[in-house]
Amino acid sequence: MPQNHTIEITETLQKQVTVQAASKEEALAKVEQMYQDEIIVLAAEDLFSQTIQLVSNEIT
């Protein structure tokens, strides 16, 4: 008998960015603003990891 299976796919994107700043707090704020303004955009080439796992299955 066929069953429904719910599969979860998770991708993690990661990019390192270097900025000049007077402090680590300023550097974080700059990068957060750049990300919000879409100056920094993560794309497929920034794929760091992926998982595919069964979430649930139910008998139909």
Q: State pLDDT tens for residues 7-24.
A: 999 999 999 999 999 999
Predicted pLDDT of residue 60: 56
pTM for this prediction: 0.75
Range of the domain at 40: 3-59
What pLDDT, on the 0 to 100 scale, is given for residue 2? 87
Q: Band the pLDDT of 27: cuts 50, 70, 90.
A: very high
Q: Where are the beta strands (DSSP E) in 1-60?
A: 3-13, 47-59
Q: pLDDT averaged over the chain? A: 95
Helices (H), 1-54: 24-36
| Residue 25 scores a pLDDT above 90 | yes
Q: How many domains does the chain have?
A: 1
